[in-house]
Amino acid sequence: MAAIVSAGFARFGKRKDSIMDIAAESAMPVVRSHRDEIDFALVSNCYSGEFNGISGINNLLTTYLSMDAVPSIRIDNTSGSGGAALFTAVSLVESGRARCVLLTGVEKMSERPTKEVTRIISSLLGDREKAAGPSLPSFAGLLTTLYMREFAATRESIAQVAVKNHRNGALNPNAHIQKVLTLEQVLQSNVIIDPLRLFEISPISDGAVSLLVVPDPEAPSFTDKPVHVKGIGMSSESSHLTARETLTDMPSVRRAGEIARRESGIDRPDLAELHDMATVLEIVEMESLGFYPRGEGWKAVLEGKTEIGGELPVNTSGGLNSKGHPIGASGVAQAAEVYLQLTGGAGGRQVRDARTGMAVSMAGFGNSATAAMMGLEK
Amino acid sequence: MAAIVSAGFARFGKRKDSIMDIAAESAMPVVRSHRDEIDFALVSNCYSGEFNGISGINNLLTTYLSMDAVPSIRIDNTSGSGGAALFTAVSLVESGRARCVLLTGVEKMSERPTKEVTRIISSLLGDREKAAGPSLPSFAGLLTTLYMREFAATRESIAQVAVKNHRNGALNPNAHIQKVLTLEQVLQSNVIIDPLRLFEISPISDGAVSLLVVPDPEAPSFTDKPVHVKGIGMSSESSHLTARETLTDMPSVRRAGEIARRESGIDRPDLAELHDMATVLEIVEMESLGFYPRGEGWKAVLEGKTEIGGELPVNTSGGLNSKGHPIGASGVAQAAEVYLQLTGGAGGRQVRDARTGMAVSMAGFGNSATAAMMGLEK
């Protein structure tokens, strides 16, 4: 197995800096003290071509960081790229093909107008859905309606996810949106896709996060407090959303979570970072992961169980919802938040005595999911 | 270590079919008899967004192939993607995280005009080179001039690579260009970038190749004739071509080759597939790999040593030069050619008694390289 031994951040938000500057900003603190050890670089990124007119970003980054000879790959799995890249990093060190992987997740989205960004991201949909014209947010709207109807969930419970995540995000200096919101503010913000409101959908963000991933036995030579990846699973589901039996359950998330759980021997983590591109997704994922029974996740939110200080804090970082969603960076940021929490570096949003955490990185609408269970014990 | 146990092809050329159809065409024969065993899919592809307006191609492919739950990743390392994807596949099976990887390399380039294709591909250059305006072919022209000057190589020796590779490609039913050319025809074709001529630069192609990669011990349950990846290495070099000491030596290729050699214990393969995006590159790579002393590769070409039947056949497939260069597919196609040669499936271009072969996949101008040494013995 592998361990995370360092994390670096470039604040999420609308940034003037170039994508390469942002990527390097997050990598610098990680690289500085370990330049000679790093023997592989993975860049989690989806749209550097479409958004920034750049290809070969992985090679450009190693050049930028003066690690010319270090081999590198760009890992893409759309919004689930970060999880897929962590999975690849773990596999690389487990196979012995790398001994110290720099994993940088980065995206710079704000160079393009919102409409174009939405169109580009929706290019991951199958032909059938594309022909019908919907974007990913429209599926999130549909899912919200379906979930509320199927499980008699209140509108407030869905919006409460945004209240919680913005409260958490306001405690995260690297979050895009640092603003505490009331339930009323969320419910009265502009309708994006009925019934979803502005503050319930992740903003378009720039940003980067870097991690250092090494084999477990090597971890102590890097840090006193490694965070071990104790279990990690990936699974997929049809890209054709309309071909699925239901949208209110996510088999890819369920299966990925089962693998992470089985490998780690940990049933329930002390905290979890989930892929809340839209508020309703956090609830559906909690259920698919078995944290709460199907159709009851919304109650856990209303009861405050998923807040910092609750029985299972979810998205202490602010989640994609408030922290922002620079696509290639998001999954890496999730693992980085777990790293911060387990090593006691989460500042004002620190979960007390957190020893295990799960990060779930998702592509599309559960088209793919990677679940990583992390812990302080080896 | 890992073994290749199956290969499937979609002919390279200008294709009317969609990128998904082309990818699936190559994967179908590989998937058909092993659908239940495949537990991971890697798609080697660089520009599906820029060329085809598609993202999430890996997930779209598993959906297309009715392997909905199979996790997948898109692997990008520009023109070296195929090698990077093979490296990743090997790592996945070595780590035990996958037991049967479908590796599909695909690109559909002909949807865009040549000028736009060149511009998109040149987006891998560093800012300095971009600002100066040159494209990758212009560097190939420069390298040709430098090589000829530095080593007193004849113009004919460079063009002879195209003669050889077109002769080989004419024997490959999956090659883009199937036309035997004389030295005169090559040297009298249109100047693309002085002194390089049309037939010395790989064409813009569509196409796909699929491989099945499994752990060595599992290979016999798939086929009587597995081809073992006995050594595989990756290395990089600065993306800033102007920052390099020389262009006539490729340190990334040299280092990758050394790793492949050391791991495999094989010094000199029976044949090699090299990245001849331009004729001169094949010669420089042969030298960087140590097949011939520096500055003498051109003589080996003139003496016929690298022809089928020569002491070290190079690019029996026709190479990128004649087979075509659908970017994400090229590196996978190289490994597939070695697979065909070692399993006796290379038809009219079969190298007699070939038991070992090397595939060298390169990004940019040696920005990155992956060398894989393959063999029939485990």
Contact state of B237 with A68 under an 8 Å Cβ cutoff:
yes
Longest dimension (CA), chain A: 57
State the nearest Cα–Cα gap between B182 and chain A, in angstroms: 36
Q: How confident is the model at residue B133 (pLDDT cuts 50, 70, 90)?
A: low
In a domain, B120, yes or no: no
- CB atoms A59 and B364 under 8 Å: yes
**Mean pLDDT, residues A25-49 taken together:** 96
B75 Cβ under 8 Å from any chain A Cβ: yes
Does B87 sit within 8 Å of A91, measured CB to CB? no
Look up residue A134 and give its two tokens. 């919907």
Would you say residue A130 lies in a domain?
no
Q: What is the mean pLDDT of chain A?
A: 96
**pLDDT of amino acid A137:** 82
Q: pLDDT band for B220, please (50, 70, 90 cuts).
A: very high
- For the purposes of burial, counting CB atoms within 10 Å of the CB of B279, is it exposed (0-12), middle (13-18) or buried (19 or more)? buried
Q: What angle do the packed helices A279-288 and A136-151 form, to 10 degrees?
A: 60
Q: What is the mean pLDDT of residues B350-364?
A: 97
Of residues A190, A191, A166, A199, the one with CA closest to residue A180: A166
Q: What is the mean pLDDT of residues B198-224?
A: 97
Number of H helices, E strands in chain A: 14, 11
Report the pLDDT value the prediction gives residue B176, as an integer from 0 to 100.
98
Q: Tell me: do B162 and B256 sit in the same domain.
A: yes
B69 inside domain: yes
Q: Determine the longest span between alpha carbons in chain B, in angstroms.
A: 57
Distance CA A218, CA A240 (A): 42
Q: Which of B186, B221, B256 is the last residue of a domain?
A: B221
CB environment A341-357: b (16+ within 10 A), e (fewer)? bbbeebeebebeebebb
Q: Do both A184 and A160 map to the same domain? A: yes
Residue B19 lies in a domain: yes
* Domain shared by B174 and B317, yes or no: yes
In whole angstroms, give the CA distance from residue A270 to residue A353: 8
Q: What number is the average pLDDT over the span A96-109?
A: 98
Average pLDDT over residues B319-335: 98
**B13 three-state secondary structure:** strand
Q: How confident is the model at residue A175 (pLDDT cuts 50, 70, 90)?
A: very high
What does the pLDDT read at residue B151?
98
Please name the amino acid found at residue B197: R
Task: Tell me the shortest Cα–Cα distance from A349 to chain B, in angstroms.
Answer: 33
Whether residue B295 lies within 8 A of chain A, CB to CB, comes out as no
pLDDT in tens, A220-273: 999 999 999 999 999 999 998 888 889 999 999 999 999 999 999 999 999 999
The residues facing A41 across adjacent strands are A72, A102
Q: Name the percent of chain A lying above pLDDT 90.
A: 90
User: Chain A contacts of B53, Cβ < 8 Å?
Assistant: 123
Distance from CA of B93 to the nearest CA of A (A): 8
Using a CB-CB distance cutoff of 8 angstroms, which residues of chain B are in contact with residue A24?
A: none
B335 falls within a domain: yes
A15, A28, B88 from A21: Cα distances, Å:
10, 10, 27
> Is residue A334 domain-shared with residue A233, that is, in the same domain?
yes
The answer to whether B237 faces chain A, any CB pair under 8 Å, is yes
In a domain, A128, yes or no: no
ipTM score here? 0.97
Place of tokens 């279990």: A231
Question: Average pLDDT for residues B298-316, to the nearest whole number?
Answer: 98
Q: How many CB pairs under 8 A join A and B?
A: 180
Task: Considering only the beta carbons, identify the residue of A55, A62, A368 that sits closest to B123.
Answer: A55
Residue of B nearest to A60 (CA): B239
Residue of B nearest to A232 (CA): B97
Decide the pairing of beta strands B191-193 and B196-197.
antiparallel
A24 is in which domain, residue-wise? Answer: 2-113+205-221
Average pLDDT of span B295-314: 98
Tell me: do A278 and A139 sit in the same domain: yes
> Which residues on A lie below 8 Å from B62 (Cβ)?
236, 239
User: What pLDDT band is residue B126 in, cutting at 50, 70 and 90?
Assistant: confident
Region B342-364 average pLDDT? 97
Q: How far apart are CA A289 and CA A202, in angstroms?
A: 21
Average the pLDDT over A313-324 and give the result. 98
pLDDT at A243: 85
**Residue B249: predicted pLDDT:** 96
Q: Kindly state whether residues B308 and B326 are assigned to the same domain.
A: yes
Please give the full DSSP string across A46-93, using - where no structure is assigned: S-HHHHHS---HHHHHHHHTT-TT--EEEEEBTBTHHHHHHHHHHHHH
**Is B307 in the same domain as B197?**
yes
Strands of chain B, DSSP E: 2-13, 40-44, 72-76, 101-108, 191-193, 196-197, 206-215, 227-236, 272-273, 356-363, 368-375
Average pLDDT for residues A118-133, to the nearest whole number?
A: 80
State the burial class of residue A14 (Cβ atoms within 10 Å of its Cβ: 0-12, 13-18, 19+). Answer: middle
Mutant choice from A73, A103, A213, A234 vs B, greatest count of B C-beta within 10 A? A73
B242 confidence band (pLDDT: 50, 70, 90): confident
User: What is the reported pLDDT for A133?
Assistant: 67
Does the pLDDT at position A127 exceed 80?
Answer: no
* Minimum Cα–Cα distance from B92: chain A residue: A91
Considering CB atoms only, which of B60, B123, B256 is closest to A126? B60
Number of domains in chain B: 2
pLDDT tens by residue, B55-74: 999 999 999 999 999 999 99
Does position A88 have pLDDT exceeding 80, yes or no?
yes
**Amino acid (1-letter code) at residue B213:** V
Task: Give the CA distances from residue A306 to residues A257, A324, B189, in Å, rounded to whole numbers and listed in that order.
Answer: 18, 19, 69
B126 in any annotated domain: no
Tell me: do B167 and B262 sit in the same domain.
yes
Q: Are residues A42 and A141 both part of a single domain?
A: no
Q: Yes or no: say if A271 and A351 are a contact pair by the CB < 8 Å rule.
A: yes
State the Cα–Cα distance between residues A235 and A258, nearest whole angstrom. 10
Judge if A105 and A179 occupy the same domain. no
Domain match, A42 and A166 both: no
Over range B99-116, report the average pLDDT.
95
CATH code, domain with B323: 3.40.47.10
DSSP track, B127-169: HHHHHH---HHHHHHHHHHHHHHHHT--HHHHHHHHHHHHHHH
Written as one string, the DSSP assignment of B197-233 is EGGGBPPP-EEEEEEEEEEGGGGGGT-SS-EEEEEEE
Q: Do B90 and B174 fall into the same domain? A: no
A324, A176 contact by CB (below 8 A): yes
Residue A368's pLDDT is what? 97
Inter-chain residue contact A255 with B58, CB threshold 8 Å: no
Note whether A209 contacts B: Cβ–Cβ < 8 A: no
In the predicted structure, residue B256 carries a pLDDT above the cut 70: yes
pLDDT value of residue A125: 83
Q: Which of A121, A129, A289, A276 is closest to A202 using CA atoms?
A: A276
CB atoms B53 and A123 under 8 Å: yes
Looking at the domain assignment, is residue B128 inside a domain? no
- The answer to whether A238 contacts B68, with C-beta atoms less than 8 Å apart, is yes
